[in-house]
Structures are given as structure tokens and as C-alpha cells.
């Protein structure tokens, strides 16, 4: 990352004036700031946000004290409500503009349910892979995994290296230091990758690292993105339907994990569930992501008025930040829920919530399409 930062620093002139400091103050109509409102409106929503911070933080401390570590949830929710409230009560927002801004807000809120569940990949799903999945392979299976792992490691690395080599040929004279640092970065990456593959091939058996399953999302995206691009050309439903499909498919992925966890005894600390359930879960999750993620930012830019685009992107990423926090917060209950109920019950929560949200979006589709005023 440090080399990457240095590389971008030395190549900052490659984009010309893009990202440069503006020479004059932009016209307010084109500004990303909300239209001017009275100070009272700002104070009102700041007060509401602060009240929510105190209320939520107080409730969490009351129910979890002295073990509470939930210091972020209250400020996140309070800030989100204050920003959304201040934006939608902008006195210059009227008619079509106001309707479209509300659609962005509603879709942003539904993405919370998606990313809260999706980001379990870095927490509860990794725990499931490490402690509850049979990751040991022998004989033919071990060799097959080593070959697949080599392809998944070398192929994308070789493609990216070739592309950057072609770029370096064009930019070496103008940005030699940038090319030097990116070359050093890839020497390090290739060295680590080849050492890892050499180490794996030396061992007769193979144990799939728990973190390895995380690459399946990237692999499935690369493999399936062209298919989805073709599919949307022939069948291109409205944005809310794509959001709903993403949520439902995500829930089905966790349904697969819930089913795979049926053999895990209540309160068990380890188990040997087949890895096929994790692979299928990542498959469904990636398909869901391909339905929802590319659409989200596109709709923010299409629906938000020009002067509020920056603010609405802030709302969108604020919702994502809240979702990521909730992902970690809810994942922390995996041991408690699996001990009191079962691992299946834990994953069923992430099955029911996204699917329910998706079904609600399907019901709201007609209303949201009307409020989008022709934006598909």
C-alpha cells in the first residue's frame, strides 16, 4: 500500500487537470452541497441526531454494561438521520427532485440489510470455515486443489502484470519513479505468490486455508460478470427489482449454510462440514452482489439533483458504513447463538432478514418506479 501511494504520487500528473484544485468557486447550481437552508433547520436536525446518539448509546450501555463496546452505533445512526433529514427538508427540493431523492434514501436503507449480511464473509463465515469446515484434502483431491489454487493465483496476476507492463512502456519516460515503485511492488507480490505455491506443492496433503474461500467472490465476479451483462441486455428489470433479487439471492446463500450446519451439534466448538456448502454460499452471494452492487451507485448519480450528488453519495456510503459496523456487531453473537440454539439458527437470521427485505422491495417496486419519474 505504501508503494502504491508513492506510485500514485509520482504519477499524479497523468490525469491532467482531473482532481486538481479548482481555480474558481463552482456555481451553486452545480455544487455538490445542498442548497442554502436556514440555520434553524440545521440546528433542528443536528439536535435530532444528537438525541439519537444519546438514546441509542444509553440503551446499549444499559443492556450490555459493563461489557458494552458499542460506541459507534449511536453516532453512526444519529449522523445518518441528521444528514438525511437535513437533505430531504431542503426548501429548494420540490416535485420530481424530491421524489427521486427519497428513492435514493430508501434504496440506501435497504442496502444496509444487504451489506450487513454480505460482510459476514470476513467474520462469521471465516469462523465457520476455520472451525466447522473439513478443509483437509488428500491424494487426488489435494492435487486438484493445488492446481486450481495455482491457476487462480497465477492467471489474474499474469494478466494484471502484462497490462501494467504495457502501461509502463508508454509512461516510463514521463513517470520513471512511478514505474519503478510499481515494478518493485509486483516483484514482491510475485515472490510471495511463488513461494506460497512452492510450499503447498511440497506437501502431499493439503489444508485449505480458512481465508482462501474469500477469493471465491472475486473469482465468481470475474467469471459471471460477462454473463450478467448479456442477461441485462435482454432482460433489464427496474432497479428496485434488481435490489430485491440481490437481497433474496444473498439470503439463499445463507440458507445453504444453515442447511449445511444442521449436522453441527448445539454448542459445538468444532465440526467437519463439507466445504461445498461454503462454496455454494459464496456463489449465491456473488450473484446477489452482481444484481445489486453495480446498480446502486449508478442510481445515486441518475436520481440525485446535480447540486446534491455529493451529499447523496455520502448518504449511500454512510449506509454502507453502518452496514459494515452492524455486520461485525451481529457476527459477535455467533458463539452465544450457536451455544443457546445452533449454528443453523445463527445463519437463518441472515437468511430471513435479507429475503424479507427483498420481498418488501418487490412490493414497493411500483411505488418506487413512480417516484423515479422515468429513470429505469
Let me know whether 318 and 350 are in one domain. Answer: yes
How far is 178 from 11, CA to CA, in rounded Å? Answer: 6
- Establish if 349 belongs to a structural domain: yes
pLDDT digits (tens, 9 = 90+) for 42-82: 788 788 888 888 887 777 776 665 555 567 777 888 888 88
Give the per-residue pLDDT at 215: 87
Let me know whether 115 and 51 are in one domain. Answer: no
- Establish if 11 belongs to a structural domain: no
Let me know whether 110 and 235 are in one domain. Answer: yes
Contacts with 169 (C-beta within 8 Å, 6 or more apart), sequence order: none
pLDDT digits (tens, 9 = 90+) for 216-250: 898 899 888 888 888 888 888 888 899 999 999 99
The pTM (predicted TM-score) of the whole model is 0.81
Q: Which residues of the chain carry a pLDDT beneath 50?
A: 29, 31-36
- What is the residue range of 174's domain? 136-207
Q: Of the candidates 185, 207, 229, which is a domain's last residue?
A: 207
Amino acid at each position: 500500500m505504501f508503494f502504491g501511494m508513492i506510485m500514485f504520487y509520482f504519477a499524479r500528473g497523468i490525469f491532467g487537470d482531473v482532481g486538481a484544485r479548482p481555480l474558481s468557486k463552482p456555481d451553486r447550481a452545480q455544487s455538490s452541497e445542498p442548497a442554502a437552508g436556514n440555520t434553524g433547520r440545521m440546528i433542528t436536525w443536528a439536535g435530532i441526531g444528537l438525541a439519537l446518539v444519546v438514546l441509542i448509546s444509553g440503551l446499549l450501555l444499559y443492556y450490555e454494561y459493563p461489557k458494552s463496546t458499542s460506541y459507534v452505533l449511536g453516532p453512526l445512526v444519529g449522523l445518518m438521520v441528521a444528514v438525511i433529514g437535513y437533505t430531504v427538508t431542503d426548501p429548494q427540493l420540490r416535485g420530481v427532485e424530491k421524489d427521486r431523492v427519497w428513492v435514493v434514501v430508501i434504496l440506501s436503507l435497504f442496502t444496509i440489510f444487504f451489506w450487513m449480511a454480505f460482510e459476514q464473509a470476513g467474520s462469521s463465515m471465516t469462523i465457520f470455515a476455520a472451525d466447522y469446515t473439513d478443509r483437509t484434502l488428500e491424494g487426488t483431491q489435494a492435487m486438484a486443489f493445488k492446481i486450481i489454487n495455482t491457476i487462480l493465483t497465477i492467471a489474474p496476476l499474469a494478466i494484471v502484470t502484462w497490462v501494467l507492463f504495457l502501461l509502463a512502456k508508454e509512461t516510463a519516460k514521463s513517470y520513471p519513479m512511478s514505474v519503478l515503485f510499481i515494478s518493485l511492488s509486483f516483484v514482491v507480490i510475485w515472490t510471495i505468490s511463488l513461494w506460497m505455491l512452492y510450499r503447498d506443492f511440497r506437501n502431499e496433503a493439503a489444508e485449505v486455508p480458512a481465508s482462501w474461500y474469500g477469493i471465491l467472490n472475486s473469482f465468481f465476479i470475474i467469471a459471471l460478470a460477462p454473463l450478467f451483462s448479456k442477461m441485462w441486455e435482454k432482460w433489464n428489470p427496474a432497479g428496485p427489482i434488481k435490489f430485491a433479487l440481490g437481497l433474496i439471492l444473498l439470503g439463499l446463500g445463507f440458507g445453504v449454510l444453515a442447511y449445511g450446519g444442521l449436522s453441527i451439534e448445539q454448542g459445538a466448538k468444532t465440526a467437519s462440514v463439507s466445504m461445498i456448502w461454503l462454496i455454494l454460499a459464496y456463489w449465491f452471494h456473488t450473484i446477489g452482489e452482481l444484481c445489486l452492487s453495480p446498480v446502486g451507485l449508478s442510481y445515486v448519480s441518475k436520481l440525485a439533483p446535480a447540486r446534491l450528488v455529493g451529499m447523496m453519495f455520502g448518504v449511500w456510503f454512510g449506509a454502507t458504513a453502518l452496514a459494515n459496523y452492524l455486520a461485525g456487531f451481529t457476527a459477535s453473537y455467533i458463539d452465544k447463538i450457536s451455544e443457546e440454539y445452533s449454528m443453523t439458527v445463527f445463519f437463518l437470521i441472515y437468511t430471513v432478514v435479507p429475503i424479507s427485505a427483498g420481498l418488501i422491495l418487490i412490493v414497493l417496486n411500483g411505488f418506487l418506479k413512480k417516484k423515479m419519474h422515468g429513470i429505469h
